[in-house]
Structure 1
Amino acid sequence: MLVLILSVAVLLVIGGCVCVFWEARGDAPRWARGVSKATLLGGELVRSASRNSRSQKSGGDD
């Protein structure tokens, strides 16, 4: 069951990356632009959460 969930998550990430690339080329439909924006926003949220957890572990001396 865990393998299935992880496989779906990987496919969603790959699909999001494809939409980002497609939008960067400039000929993406509206739905792909929306998926691209959601993918980029998700990446920023993960990066922010990672940065916050690292700063808490190091005592906040960034």
Structure 2
Amino acid sequence: MIVAVLLGVLVLVIGGCACVFWAERGGPRWARVVATVTLTASELVRSADKKRSRGLNPSSQDDD
């Protein structure tokens, strides 16, 4: 079951990357929409990761 879920996520990621690539070259409107959603999701994941990593090591600058 978990393999099917991971495979589905992988297909979505690859499809999103393909739409970003295609939209940069003037693809159809739906590809540009999917590309926008993909890029927005990646920004959300990136910002959540930055917040999480700051929370794990808040005293990293106090190494005097």
TM-score (norm 2): 0.89
Between Structure 1 and Structure 2, which shows a larger proportion of helix residues? 1
Partner of 1:46: 45
* Cα distance between partner residues in 2 of 1:32 and 1:20: 7
Could you tell me which runs of 5 or more consecutive residues in structure 2 were left unpaired when the two chains were aligned.
Answer: none
> Residues 58 and 35 (structure 1 numbering): CA distance in 2 closer, same or farther, change over 3 Å?
same
Per the TM alignment, residue 61 of structure 1 is displaced from its structure 2 partner at its CA by 5.5
TM-score (norm 1): 0.91
Residue pair 1:17, 1:36 contacting (<8 A) in 2 also: yes
**What is the root-mean-square deviation in Å for CA atoms of aligned residues?**
1.5
CA deviations 1:30-56 (Å, max 9, x no partner) are 110000000000000000000000000
Partner of 1:4: 4
Show structure 1 runs of 4+ deviating over 4 A: none
Residue pair 1:55, 1:61 contacting (<8 A) in 2 also: no
Q: Percent identity?
A: 48
For the pair shown, which has the larger CA radius of gyration, 1 or 2? 2
Q: Give the total of aligned pairs.
A: 61
